[in-house]
Chains A and B, each alone.
Chain A
Amino acid sequence: MKNKIKLGLLIALIASGSMFSANAQDANDILKKMDAVMYSPKDMTGKNKIILIDKTGKEEVREATIQQKGNNKRMFRFTSPSSQAGIAVLSLPDDVMYLYLPAFGKERRIATSAKNQNFAGTDFSYDDMESKPFAEKYTPKFVKVEGDVFVLELTPIGKSEYSKVIVGVNKTNYYPVSTEIYDKGNNKIKQAKYTFKKVGNYWNAEEIEMTDLKKNHKTKMQMSEIKYDSGLSDDDFTVRKLKQ
């Protein structure tokens, strides 16, 4: 009887302890689950609307179709404005990227040795656009639970222009809700807000809003007409396809 009470207490303690300290969940675990949510579809196609908002509030809209296979093959094809229609960017594994400019009728490989460069006028750097799992890029540390969000502090593995990234992860569904990016001077330089929505079996980032705090410039990436697992093949991600 006495022992049972002790055991009960112990269980209660452990249970309550795990409630307070999500460390039991382990920061690594949370991050891996987040990666899983973000990168679980085999492939994806959809429409992408990029809205650039400058500090005066002026908006500029670009539209593109997007195809993605796994987390390392992606084709971006701009459809508007007309001056950029047809421009396509193909990303392949190992930082190989190709650009196609229809006005020249030529493709060129783009080297991005400096991945902190912004992608095509947006506030996303090539680094931010990369679909590489977070767990491979960062070492997480658990910070706190805030409402229904786990807050993790991520420290880059290897060289990066960031000193840390604070990410908020939805507690029940493990999709990211926000990121705050700090430079080496420990100034918050960028922040992103994510809106996720369930499409079929997967969680989809319906909108990502990235703000460059230094430039006071914002980019919204909105996804629509999403289709998952439609059976894209590697042939859909070739230079030949790029030029079509």
Chain B
Amino acid sequence: MEKIAKSIIKFRWLIVTTVLLLTIFFGYQMKNISINSDIFSSLPDSDPAASLYKQIGEEFGGNNMGLIVLETNNVFDKEVLEHIRQITDTLKYIQGVSTVTSLTNIIDIKSTEEGIEVGKLVDEYNLPQTQEELDSLKKYIFSKDLYKGSIVSEDGTSTVIVFTLFQDVDNKSVANEIRTKILTLNLPETTHFGGMPMMLDDISNLILSDIIWLIPIVFIIIALVLFLSFRSLKGVLLPLMNTAIAIIWTLGILVMAGYELTIISNIIPVVLLAVGSAYTIHVLNSISLNKLVDRKQALISALTYIIIPVILASVTTAIGFLSFVFGSYLTMIKDFGIFTAIGTVIALILSIFFVPALISAFSMYSKTIKTDQQEKESVLSRVILKPLVNLLFKHPKYIFITWVVFIALSIGGTFLIKISVNIADYFKKDNETRISEDILQQKFGGSAPIFVLFEGDMQSPEVLETMIKTEKFMKEDQFISFTQSVADLVEQMNDAMGEGKKIPDERAKIEQLWFLLDGQDIMPQIVSDNLDRGIIQSRYGSSKSADINKYLERMNGFIQQNSTEECKITLTGMTSVYMKINDSLVNSLFSSLTIAVIMVILIVGVILKSISKGVYAAVPIIATIFLLFGCMGVFGIPLDIATVLVGSIVLGIGVDYSIHVITGFNFFMKVNNNDVASAIEKTILSSGKAVIINVLSVAAGFLVLIFSQLVPLQNFGILIAICMIGSGTGALTLLPVILILVNRKRKIIAK
């Protein structure tokens, strides 16, 4: 270690220049950074539910669905109809829009005395004008299940215009164009935008504004905490500069590797700021605590002491992040794991090599050397650490029991945890998109597309019968207000031919009815070209996991009974994908946590040459994780794509505190001939300060996420802050108490 430390000082100029050049290089790469807010692009292709959903989107074009709600007093008004037509036309002519369905262009099959009409519900070139025409349109629409509640709200005050985008378009720019063009129509009615493309556009914008606003705030807050702790410019500048460089490198590598920022990876800078500064803080702390008068020698000796704990701390943190790579389903979470781990290692390397090199290159040694006496009299030591040590020795059992009670309560709270994967929940309640989604859910059966795929001969009476039966079954669910399939159209056509509203029993009849349906705009959206696949389209009106679960269970039961060789039925849609993500969140939570806990125990154990010490180091952090889930349950913070990350991140960062305490303990046991009491006291007095400063700076850094405009990130920030305080307190109370109690039974001996 000393050798490394010496070479660092020797090659200081080389190190400083290299870092500078690399920073310029990576900084230049960052100009190509782009944002991908699409959670669905993050679904692994290997997953059947996800790949079917994507495939249906490609084949039938229905899953990239956006909706515009027009709210007014009465939809059946000639001006309102004209405005619907304007919106429909505007959408139709926007590049990237695949289909538009609205009151003014929806397909309608009428059977009259005169005959049959396959055409549009209203003639867009000759919209109803007189009150009589409008009234009869209203009566007609409310007489048909296909329109009521799906295109016009049941109270007749709002209507929805549904559009789908082509699969391969730049979602964001199309959504943006749609929003701008519709708003410039300057319609008197209230317009709301909903559906996946619009939400994703909104999320991208929020991510961008979060990055622009939050990162500087995090910088300032951490700078403030650092200044209060070190009371020197160097103590503020070095950690911040170090992490800033680490962030630039990480993002540079991310861009060069061809990745995009996602709703999750946009917090990489915040995480690195909070995590990365810790290593520099420990290095600086170690340097300033060293009392050798020759400052160069002091630097080397301080480095020699600190390299191992800092490496340990960062490796465990990186493992916490890397656990996502193995334990997670969404690729965006994996990517987040990889790049935060890379960033952590970069921050580590910089704090070991770059910081000391910089200090020695520019002779930024402290002018004064604090004596032991001064150290002991710092406010922190006097007010917190000293009384803490006394308390620990006086009431170890009470402290231990307090922790046990907390953990027990937390385990109880764990059962209250809800899972939320509904993207609408990611917006704050007053967000325009969230409001739109609520309206869509209340009035139009939601914006989450669901599909039932039928593989079989689409012109066979049996297959079409099964489709009708499935639709009837689906509509028994209170959250499904309408369904649409080619079977419906065939039924209506048959009715128009005067044979009743049912599927004809002869294939020949179906084939001939098809003649009129062929070429209708709707056909490619519901049936495949070679007539071997068809879908029921619908939307699901609830985003509650319980409802979705019930729906999926019912449907799966139905499918099992009705799916045959000739007519294979498969269910997919946003709900299925949501549930998949839902389950995957729980799975990835457990697997990433398990991986992380085992790795941490092993690594700490191996380096300290004692597995039992590895276990001791892990106890406070495991307790903290229970606390975390307890808090989520009790305070109603749901498990989502961001909060699922907290456990492993906390494990990685929080275990550092225990590592510092336990390595300190080990060190002082050796120095003080295995005197546990004095070792603990010295450990807390020396490491305690760094731990507290670190807890404060990390917690403060993450708390800034409260100002994020995305709910999962707000929750993420709050939870990490709570956990930092939890694991810091654990390392300074629970861990020493365990050591005291264990020692009472069986003498601990440092190896």
A residues with CB within 8 A of B? 54, 58, 83-84, 87, 98-99, 101-104, 106, 108-114, 117-122, 159-161, 183-185, 187
Contact B519 A108 (CB under 8 A): no
Hey, what's the 0/1 contact readout for B40-64 against A, CB within 8 Å counting as 1?
0000000000000000000000000
Residue of A nearest to B524 (CB): A215
B residues with CB within 8 A of A? 89, 92-93, 110, 112, 114-120, 123-126, 496-499, 506, 508-509, 511-513, 515-516, 518-520, 529
From residue B260, how far is it (CB to closest CB) to chain A in Å?
29
Contact A159 B512 (CB under 8 A): no
Contact A122 B512 (CB under 8 A): no
Contact A113 B512 (CB under 8 A): no
Known: A110-B115, A110-B117. A84 touches B511 (CB 8 A): yes
A118–B119 alpha-carbon span in the complex (Å) = 10
A103–B512 alpha-carbon span in the complex (Å) = 7
Residue of A nearest to B113 (CB): A109
- 4 tightest A-B contacts by CB? A185-B93, A109-B115, A121-B518, A159-B125
From residue A231, how far is it (CB to closest CB) to chain B in Å?
30
Residue of B nearest to A121 (CB): B518
From residue B560, how far is it (CB to closest CB) to chain A in Å?
33
A122 contact from B120, B123, B496, B519, Cβ within 8 A: B519
Please, which residues of chain A bring their CB within 8 A of the CB of B519? 117-122
Contact A109 B116 (CB under 8 A): yes
A101 contact from B117, B124, B126, B513, Cβ within 8 A: B513
From residue A14, how far is it (CB to closest CB) to chain B in Å?
44
Residue of A nearest to B120 (CB): A114
Contact A111 B114 (CB under 8 A): yes
Output the residue of B115, B126, B499, B509 with the most chain A CB within 10 A.
B115
Contact B123 A114 (CB under 8 A): yes
A106–B497 alpha-carbon span in the complex (Å) = 8
Sample of 20 further A-B pairs with CB below 8 A, known A58-B529, A106-B498:
A103-B509, A103-B511, A104-B499, A104-B512, A108-B116, A108-B496, A110-B115, A111-B112, A111-B114, A114-B120, A114-B123, A117-B119, A117-B120, A117-B519, A118-B520, A119-B519, A121-B519, A159-B126, A183-B93, A185-B89
Please, which residues of chain A bring their CB within 8 A of the CB of B513? 101
Q: List 29 A-B contacts (CB under 8 A).
A: A54-B529, A58-B529, A84-B515, A101-B497, A101-B509, A101-B512, A103-B506, A103-B508, A103-B512, A106-B498, A108-B116, A109-B115, A110-B118, A110-B516, A111-B110, A111-B117, A112-B117, A114-B123, A117-B119, A117-B120, A117-B520, A118-B519, A118-B520, A119-B519, A161-B124, A161-B125, A184-B89, A185-B92, A185-B93
A185–B512 alpha-carbon span in the complex (Å) = 35
From residue B528, how far is it (CB to closest CB) to chain A in Å?
11
Contact A114 B124 (CB under 8 A): yes
A111–B125 alpha-carbon span in the complex (Å) = 16
Contact B512 A87 (CB under 8 A): yes
A117–B110 alpha-carbon span in the complex (Å) = 15
A83–B509 alpha-carbon span in the complex (Å) = 9
Please, which residues of chain B bring their CB within 8 A of the CB of A114? 119-120, 123-124
Residue of A nearest to B530 (CB): A58
A103–B461 alpha-carbon span in the complex (Å) = 14
Contact A113 B123 (CB under 8 A): yes
From residue A141, how far is it (CB to closest CB) to chain B in Å?
22
Please, which residues of chain B bring their CB within 8 A of the CB of A106? 497-498
Please, which residues of chain A bring their CB within 8 A of the CB of B518? 120-121
Please, which residues of chain A bring their CB within 8 A of the CB of B506? 103
A120–B163 alpha-carbon span in the complex (Å) = 24
Known: A54-B529, A104-B497, A114-B124. A120 touches B516 (CB 8 A): yes
Output the residue of B125, B513, B519, B520 with the most chain A CB within 10 A.
B519
A83–B531 alpha-carbon span in the complex (Å) = 14
From residue B574, how far is it (CB to closest CB) to chain A in Å?
26
Known: A101-B513, A159-B125. A117 touches B118 (CB 8 A): yes
Please, which residues of chain B bring their CB within 8 A of the CB of A118? 519-520
Please, which residues of chain A bring their CB within 8 A of the CB of B520? 117-118
Please, which residues of chain B bring their CB within 8 A of the CB of A103? 506, 508-509, 511-512
A159–B124 alpha-carbon span in the complex (Å) = 10
From residue A148, how far is it (CB to closest CB) to chain B in Å?
34
Please, which residues of chain A bring their CB within 8 A of the CB of B125? 159-161
A185–B91 alpha-carbon span in the complex (Å) = 10
A121–B516 alpha-carbon span in the complex (Å) = 8
Contact A184 B119 (CB under 8 A): no
Please, which residues of chain A bring their CB within 8 A of the CB of B89? 184-185
A113 contact from B92, B117, B509, Cβ within 8 A: B117
A83–B116 alpha-carbon span in the complex (Å) = 21
Residue of B nearest to A109 (CB): B115
Contact B529 A110 (CB under 8 A): no
Please, which residues of chain A bring their CB within 8 A of the CB of B123? 113-114
A103–B126 alpha-carbon span in the complex (Å) = 35
Please, which residues of chain A bring their CB within 8 A of the CB of B498? 106, 108
Residue of A nearest to B123 (CB): A113
A82–B497 alpha-carbon span in the complex (Å) = 21
A118–B515 alpha-carbon span in the complex (Å) = 11
Please, which residues of chain A bring their CB within 8 A of the CB of B118? 110, 117
From residue B568, how far is it (CB to closest CB) to chain A in Å?
23
Please, which residues of chain A bring their CB within 8 A of the CB of B93? 183-185, 187
From residue A63, how far is it (CB to closest CB) to chain B in Å?
14
Please, which residues of chain B bring their CB within 8 A of the CB of A108? 115-116, 496-498
Please, which residues of chain A bring their CB within 8 A of the CB of B120? 113-114, 117
From residue A77, how far is it (CB to closest CB) to chain B in Å?
12
Please, which residues of chain B bring their CB within 8 A of the CB of A187? 93
A184–B94 alpha-carbon span in the complex (Å) = 12
Contact B116 A110 (CB under 8 A): yes
Residue of B nearest to A60 (CB): B529
Contact B515 A87 (CB under 8 A): yes
Please, which residues of chain B bring their CB within 8 A of the CB of A119? 519
A187–B513 alpha-carbon span in the complex (Å) = 33
From residue A240, how far is it (CB to closest CB) to chain B in Å?
16
Residue of A nearest to B95 (CB): A187
Residue of A nearest to B508 (CB): A103
From residue A175, how far is it (CB to closest CB) to chain B in Å?
27
Please, which residues of chain A bring their CB within 8 A of the CB of B110? 111
A22–B305 alpha-carbon span in the complex (Å) = 95
From residue A47, how far is it (CB to closest CB) to chain B in Å?
19
Please, which residues of chain A bring their CB within 8 A of the CB of B497? 101, 104, 106, 108
Known: A99-B516, A103-B511, A185-B92. A109 touches B499 (CB 8 A): no
Please, which residues of chain B bring their CB within 8 A of the CB of A83? 508, 511-512
A124–B224 alpha-carbon span in the complex (Å) = 71
Please, which residues of chain A bring their CB within 8 A of the CB of B509? 101, 103-104
From residue B460, how far is it (CB to closest CB) to chain A in Å?
13
Please, which residues of chain B bring their CB within 8 A of the CB of A111? 110, 112, 114-117, 119
A181–B182 alpha-carbon span in the complex (Å) = 25
A74–B511 alpha-carbon span in the complex (Å) = 24
Please, which residues of chain B bring their CB within 8 A of the CB of A122? 519
